[in-house]
Structure 1
Amino acid sequence: MTNIASLTLDVADTEAAERFYTAAFGLDVLDFRASDAVGTGFRGFVLALTVSQPSVVDSYVDSAVAAGATVLKPAAKSLWGYGGVVQAPDGAIWKVATSAKKDTGPVAREVDEVVLLLGVADVVAAKKFYAGRGLAVGKSFGRMYVEFATGPVKLALYRRRALAKDVGVAPEGDGSHGVTIGGDSTAFTDLDGFTWTTSTRAAAA
């Protein structure tokens, strides 16, 4: 099985990025690389945090905004639960959501799951590509959505236009995705230009 052990975000200022993400989310799966070559517009991926209840969503969205994030979609109830979307100062888009519509306990700033959502041109072709690389399919909904079991960070595939619509941005964009996926496999690039590399964290695990 191919696991995702870390994600490296291309940012203009690595120290500023570290400060922001520590204050906003406190995750331990992120690394940063200084780069001025990040693409413009929608970069084709979204990072999602799944949490236990609405008050936890609010807590993470509020801390992200306080640290400098921009709100793309205010936290609100939906058919599927409760969630909100913010954009970090480096341009990465983050969705914080829960399937619960009501709080059932005190606020606990804990992330149940980190999901990397890739916006792809053809979900079926991308699914076949990743299955061929050894990724185990967890959920699959035809041409709409596929989810893989990939360790600390879950990988999911979504149609690019649908993913952009879900987070409230235009689907157009060009240039570098600005994210490198660190796994336990050899380096490769997928059908939509997302780059994987061998993670030192995976090697040390």
Structure 2
Amino acid sequence: MPKDTFLNLSAPKKEKMDMILLDTFYNQSISQVKVSHIVEQMEMSRGAFYKYFVDLEDAYAYVVKQQSVLIHQDILDYIAQYKNDFFHGIEQYLIFCSHLETDSAYWKGLLLLTRADYQRTMKRLNLDESSYMLKEWINLLRNNEFKIHETQEAISFLYFIMEVVMNSLTDFIINDWTPEELIMDYHYKIKWIIKGIK
């Protein structure tokens, strides 16, 4: 978790540092990154870096969590646009991702998450009954008449769906698929979910 000195930075300075961290980590493993490279990009001293983060691992965990929250919220927003057609909303999100420019910040965020340690990206947030995100999710499930009645089951299904989406995007990136191949593979997965395999 970044230190308070980082969290209390002005918005423009924090955004600049967020972009530097994303640009640094999205296409290389943490073992390849040096603090000296980051401080050079940030135009600050090595000591200043340690005023913001405990260590390199802390900075990496921060940027992974930040991108994970952003992308997962966007997935929910796409689903919400198609309130009564849950899986079509996800399909529209995948289509959006498949047409991104590869030098865009959003694409870099996807690459970071598809290459990041699984434990970091899928660690569950503590969602309680009053959480806006959880309420929004449960409403989406009700709108689609899904047979999920318990809160814990709804949370488990949320993470399952996020995993399906990220798995689809990982396959798209690793296999250098076309958007059509991505959607065809996604349709297989959704058929298995809705109709089963027997």
Give the TM-score taking structure 1 as reference length.
Answer: 0.27
Which structure has the higher relative contact order (CA within 8 Å, separation 6+)?
A: 1
| Higher normalized strand content (fraction of residues) | 1
Structure with higher Rg: it is 2
